[in-house]
Structure 1
Amino acid sequence: MNNRRRPTMKDVAKHARVSVSTVSYVLNDSGPVAPERRERVLDAVRVLEYSPNESARSLKRRSASAIGLVVPDLTNQFFALVAEGVQGAAIERGVLVVLCAPQATGLPEGLHAKLLRSQRLDGVIYLTGTGALPTELLELSRSGPVVLVDEQILGFDLPAVVCDSRRGAREVATHVLAHGHRRIVVIGGPSAMWTGQQRLAGYREAFAGAGLDPDSVPVLVGDYRQDSGCELARVALSGPPETRPTALVCANDLMAIGALEHCKAVGLRVPQDVSIVGFDDLPVSALLTPRLTTVRQPAREMGAAAANRLLDLLAKPDGAPPAGEPVMLSTEVEIRDSVAPPPAGP
């Protein structure tokens, strides 16, 4: 039978000598069935290697059978960990995840959103690498829920799962200031992105709290990639020792790793000559030399929360309600070895 066609529920009923409704009761655990009949149905399922049509079952149950996940770049450990969290939560609820990684293909995010729309997925989890919402994804959000992760997009009432970036940034900057640093440069995230804005706001709050004019602290805008951290560290540290910054506050770990790379290339010691902090707490951050002080975002938990938020919306019989307030998870400063008092001198 398997060589000719996929077995149906009717085939199972015929093999088990029961009605189709009895098979449905057993498979969906939706009605009483005598133990002997239940065993016959389960035996028929095994013999025929029957598997339910999940798309049809999801329509009847108003539950999801497949969701999409758009991740900008899987080489970024943070995005990969979020994806793991999404996948783990989806598996627990019997849902397939279709992954799109625009940077891996070189194709724009909008084209991937269009592809996901053509697959008739139940909903999408979206991690933006630009802070913008492609038109295709906006159209997708009109036919099914779209949940954002680690970002909010102004002007769009979409559910989101984020971390308290502002608080985390404020606390890690306070840690740097507590070591006596006053010549500081911020290597910030993209100004168009909510995370970049929130982290910069947190840094500025810490500077103001320490008696520094926030406007006096230079901000170099990066793109969250390692190369930009390296280049912006070169710009920040290009002056003479008596005027160059004694600390670099980086808006993510990849840019902090780039800053470390530059310091090693030019012979600057971290933290003896310059202190560096990051944001994200990527697994590699604890393995660097020196180990990086950073802000921990619970990436896997964010992914799982986004998947559960999406699946809960899909399970509602009356459709998705307004987005409401984002789910906000807490952050925590991980103090390691990359911060020390500024070097003595002018």
Structure 2
Amino acid sequence: MLFVLVECSKISSNGFIPAWRESLNTVKIEDIAKMANVSKSAVSLAMNGKPGIGKETRARILQIAKEHGYAARTPKAEKGRAPGNTIRFIACTQAGIVPEHFSQQPFFMELIQYIEEKCRKRGLSLLFNTLHPDELERRIGELEQEHASAGILLLGTNLGGDQVRAIAAQQRRLVVLDTCFDAIEANFVVMNNKLGAHQAAGQLLADGHTRIGIVQSDERIANFSARQEGFLQALAAAGLDCAEEDRFTLSPTIVAAQEPFIAALRTRREPLPTALFCECDYIAISAIKSLAALGLRVPHDVSVIGFDNIHESVVITPELTTVHVEKEAMAELAVAKLIDLMAHGPGVTTKIVVDTRLVVRASCSAPAAALPAGGSGTVSAH
């Protein structure tokens, strides 16, 4: 894979795709795009080593560029950029929470845009790399040998504690984003998942719900586990619990009605919960679409609350009540912490937890009478 230095001062207006000095090459990006029958942005993604296109398409673009002598701007071609001006952003991609096209998902897209903005304002260059978790420890070392950086921002969303511990032992100027392990001596910046879950539970309890279900992700990460733990703690403090039959599972990366969830609702014998707490907004939106497929109305029949406050939360009908994650603040704090490490060297490690806030919209209300089991009442049997 080709990794290219992204100069933050040359990021285009969309805040994500870097500008290229195409005039330095006889063969232009648009020429490669025509020959590969793809868009110019696809060529840019391929040449930058960024996610968002398939492996076969990437390989075809790189082969055409090589055959026609296209001279990409590699890190070695950059002059006047000392390691002290360069930080490396590493995202670990795999099937599930952070797939190869993760940068197109709203939460990660916003976070990356904010990171690039904070770097640009400080005159920093950003190396953007995507790696599979299985090769993370080895490849970080190789990348740093090829082109040294002054520090590393690691998107740790889907990483386990052992993986983070190994990287932290190898890279002392490291800040891990979007996860946190209390027992690991490393720098972390993460949202306050438990507070957000308590805020969500507080809203549903204030609305008068006493039978509340949980819709969890079929892919488990530290953030989701903390959210569910916090939510159950809030219910317990109110003298309530979430029954096992009121716990459901959905994919966290699909924004559509999901048949397994629909089938679980249609075939259950117990009354439905009057409200559902979802571990993220994608799950909440899928839950709303799945309920609609059964003829159930949100929030009249079932209230739904999400977590993240992505842009799609105001596109869905009804607009989603959700927990807002301060993504810009997380980016600012992560970049500032890394700059401090760059200036003063490794010292006392810190774990920065950014509080959340509840955004109340139209997907929650006071409960109606308890709904019957699937197959009767307002639940469609088709």
Q: For 1:205-216, what aligned pairs fall within 5 Å after superposition?
A: 205-213=233-241
Deviation for aligned residue 1:114: 4.1
Deviates more, 1:89-98 or 1:224-233: 224-233
- Aligned to 1:237, the other structure's residue is in SS state helix
1: CA distance, partners of 2:259 / 2:149: 41
1: CA distance, partners of 2:204 / 2:160: 32
Q: Against the structure 1 CA distance between its residues 236 and 157, is the aligned structure 2 distance closer, same or farther, given a 3 Å change threshold? A: farther
Deviation for aligned residue 1:279: 0.2
- Aligned to 2:369, the other structure's residue is in SS state coil
- 1:264-304 deviations in whole A, cap 9, x for unaligned? 22222111111111000001101210000000001122122
Q: Against the structure 1 CA distance between its residues 243 and 270, is the aligned structure 2 distance closer, same or farther, given a 3 Å change threshold? A: same
From 325, 346, 354, give the equivalent of 1:320: 346
Partner of 1:67: 88
- 1:44-64 deviations in whole A, cap 9, x for unaligned? xxxxxxx96222xx5xxxx34
Q: Against the structure 1 CA distance between its residues 259 and 152, is the aligned structure 2 distance closer, same or farther, given a 3 Å change threshold? A: same
Paired residues, number = 283
Partner of 1:306: 334
Scaled by the length of structure 2, the TM-score of the pair is: 0.66
* Residues 69 and 100, structure 1, Cα contact 8 Å, conserved in 2: yes
* Residues 274 and 370, structure 2, Cα contact 8 Å, conserved in 1: no
From 93, 108, 112, give the equivalent of 2:122: 93
Identity of aligned residues (%): 25
- 1:20-74 deviations in whole A, cap 9, x for unaligned? xxxxxxxxxxxxxxxxxxxxxxxxxxxxxxx96222xx5xxxx342322326311
How well do the aligned residues superpose, as a CA RMSD in angstroms?
3.0
Deviation for aligned residue 1:261: 1.9
Q: Unpaired runs of 5+ in structure 2? A: 1-23, 25-77, 93-97, 372-382
Q: Against the structure 1 CA distance between its residues 95 and 345, is the aligned structure 2 distance closer, same or farther, given a 3 Å change threshold? A: closer
Residue 275 of structure 2 corresponds to residue 247 of structure 1: yes
* Residues 294 and 333, structure 1, Cα contact 8 Å, conserved in 2: yes
- Aligned to 1:344, the other structure's residue is in SS state coil
One-letter amino acid matched to 1:94? G
- Aligned to 1:125, the other structure's residue is in SS state strand
One-letter amino acid matched to 2:187? P
Deviation for aligned residue 1:242: 6.0
2: CA distance, partners of 1:99 / 1:113: 16
Residue 318 of structure 2 corresponds to residue 258 of structure 1: no
Partner of 1:31: none
Partner of 2:80: 53
Partner of 1:35: none
Scaled by the length of structure 1, the TM-score of the pair is: 0.72
Deviation for aligned residue 1:137: 8.2
Residue 178 of structure 2 corresponds to residue 187 of structure 1: no
Partner of 1:280: 308
Residue 180 of structure 2 corresponds to residue 159 of structure 1: no
1: CA distance, partners of 2:368 / 2:269: 10
- Aligned to 2:329, the other structure's residue is in SS state helix
2: CA distance, partners of 1:264 / 1:300: 33
Deviates more, 1:76-85 or 1:142-151: 142-151
- Aligned to 1:74, the other structure's residue is in SS state helix
Q: Unpaired runs of 5+ in structure 1? A: 4-50, 103-107
* Residues 212 and 273, structure 2, Cα contact 8 Å, conserved in 1: yes
One-letter amino acid matched to 1:203? F
From 289, 292, 295, give the equivalent of 1:267: 295
Residue 192 of structure 2 corresponds to residue 168 of structure 1: no
From 80, 89, 105, give the equivalent of 2:109: 80
2: CA distance, partners of 1:114 / 1:136: 13
